[in-house]
Structure 1
Amino acid sequence: MKVAIVTGASSGIGQSAAIEIAKRGAGVILTYGNNPGGGLETVAAIEKEGGRAVALPLDVGETGAFAAFRDTVADVLRDTWQRDTFDYLVNNAGASEASLIEDTTEETFDRLMRVLLKGPYFLTQTLLPLMADGGAIVNTSSNSTTAGLEPGYSVYASMKGGLNVLTRYMAKEFSTRGIRVNAVSPGPTRTRLGDDAFTRFPEVVPALAARTALGRVGEPGDVGAVIATLVSDESRWVTAQNVEVSGGFNL
């Protein structure tokens, strides 16, 4: 059985990706940040469909905890799947905070940098010794780097832009082990990002839908299905790509 690690899987895109990957027959180690209940909900959803999943706490903004996390993953792999390695890594955990460049503090910049760019960089580095050859990595980026730039997201989008470059470098360097690396770039998607912005500001939804060719905002399942496809063998000849999953936002 293949095994995937999905970060930030207590809600939204990560939760959907974990469930979709499990539906395709893989075991899942999923992480949660400040929402342990959501992590357990994801596990329950996977187990209800006959899959196997384990939820672990992880703050992707704290690189000092990564070595201990790797050791815990190794224990879980042995205890749950009788394996020493895993196959798929989905670097999905994120954070969002909006501020105009003139108002942005170094603290905000550094916090988003730690979660969105430094975290995936060093978490991947830390977990790489446990990853099986021929595996796959998907990094969750954002179409805020290219389409419909909105004032206030300069830091967020800059870090996602860095992640896009990192995706290509990972694909190049890890190709010697047959590991494929791709990114997905969602458009506006109904998640808890930005302190549950879609729930707090429902009035923005019609305007975003109007700017989307397919006429609605994205749902987590729209993106999760693409992530599951990218890690699967169906995408065995796809690497170093950034797939926009936006329904044609700003087309």
Structure 2
Amino acid sequence: MRVAVVTGASSGIGQSAAVQLAERGAGVILTYLGNQPGALDTVATIEKNGGTAVALRLDVGRSETFPAFRDSVVAALRDTWQRDTFDHLVNNAGFGQMAAFEDTTEEMFDGLMRALLKGPYFLTQTLLPLLVDGGAIVNVASNSASFAGMESGYSAYGTMKGGLVVLTRYMAKEFSPRGIRVNSISPGSTRTRIADNAFERYPEVIPGLVARTALGRLGEPDDIGMVIATLLGEEGRWITAQDIEVSGGYNL
């Protein structure tokens, strides 16, 4: 059985990715930060469908905790799957925060940088010895880093996600001798809990986003989760160093 580590899987895209991977036969180690009930819901959904999952707490913004997290992953792999390696890593955890360029504080910038760029960089570095040769990684970026998805107020967030896209290419280059594939995906507007449930709190923004989306609706977590699972699977075996926009044709 293949095993995947999916960060930030208590809701939204990460939750969908975890469930989709489990439906394709993978065991899942999923992480959460503040939303333990959501993580347990993800585990319950996977187990109800006959799969196996373990939830672990992780703050991707605190790289000093990564060695202890690796120990927890080693224990979960040994106790649940009787193995000492895993096959897939999904760097999804993070948060969204918007502010005009002139209102962006260093504290805000540093918080986004730690969670969205430094976190995936050093978490992947920490877990890399446990990742099998021939494994695969998907980094969840954002179309806010491309011309199509640029919106005022996301200069810091989009910059970190753009950095993640570039990091993906370097990972793909440096991990290729081990046969490890690395890709990123760039979702557009997706109905998740990002930015403190922004879509629930400000539903009036949804029609405008839908009007600018070629396929005529807001993205749903499964629209993204299925692409992650496909990229990690056999269907994606000849794809590496790519960023794939998954936005329904935003600003097309």
Alignment check: 8 A CA contact 2:149 2:188 kept: no
| 1:39 aligned partner, one-letter code | A
Say whether residues 1:94 and 2:94 are aligned partners.
yes
Deviations 1:194-234, CA, capped at 9 Å, x for gaps: 11100000111111000000000100000000000001111
Q: Distance in 1 between matches of 2:144 and 2:76?
A: 36
Alignment check: 8 A CA contact 2:22 2:28 kept: yes
Runs of 4+ in 1 over 6 A off after TM superposition: none
Per the alignment, residue 154 of structure 1 pairs with: 155
Alignment check: 8 A CA contact 2:183 2:243 kept: yes
Q: Distance in 1 between matches of 2:249 and 2:153?
A: 22
Segments of 5+ residues of structure 2 without an aligned counterpart are none
Segments of 5+ residues of structure 1 without an aligned counterpart are none
SS in 2 for 1:29: strand
Q: Distance in 2 between matches of 1:154 and 1:241?
A: 23
Per the alignment, residue 36 of structure 2 pairs with: 36
Please show how residues 51-62 of structure 1 align to structure 2 within 5 Å. 51-62=51-62
Per the alignment, residue 11 of structure 2 pairs with: 11
SS in 1 for 2:149: coil
Task: Give the Å deviation of 1:153.
Answer: 0.2
Per the alignment, residue 48 of structure 2 pairs with: 48
Q: Distance in 2 between matches of 1:136 and 1:230?
A: 8
What is the TM-score normalised by the length of structure 1?
0.99
Say whether residues 1:167 and 2:158 are aligned partners.
no
Per the alignment, residue 139 of structure 1 pairs with: 139
Say whether residues 1:201 and 2:202 are aligned partners.
yes
| 2:177 aligned partner, one-letter code | T
Per the alignment, residue 75 of structure 1 pairs with: 75
Per the alignment, residue 21 of structure 2 pairs with: 21
| 1:188 aligned partner, one-letter code | S
Per the alignment, residue 243 of structure 1 pairs with: 244
Alignment check: 8 A CA contact 2:9 2:93 kept: yes
| 2:106 aligned partner, one-letter code | E
Task: Give the Å deviation of 1:149.
Answer: 1.4
Q: CA RMSD in A?
A: 0.5
Per the alignment, residue 2 of structure 1 pairs with: 2
Task: Give the Å deviation of 1:148.
Answer: 3.3
Per the alignment, residue 191 of structure 2 pairs with: 190
Per the alignment, residue 217 of structure 1 pairs with: 218
| 1:168 aligned partner, one-letter code | R
Count residues with an aligned counterpart: 251
| 1:88 aligned partner, one-letter code | H
Task: Give the Å deviation of 1:182.
Answer: 0.3
| 1:38 aligned partner, one-letter code | G
Per the alignment, residue 118 of structure 2 pairs with: 118
Per the alignment, residue 228 of structure 1 pairs with: 229
Q: Distance in 2 between matches of 1:121 and 1:242?
A: 17
Task: Give the Å deviation of 1:94.
Answer: 1.0
Alignment check: 8 A CA contact 2:9 2:31 kept: yes
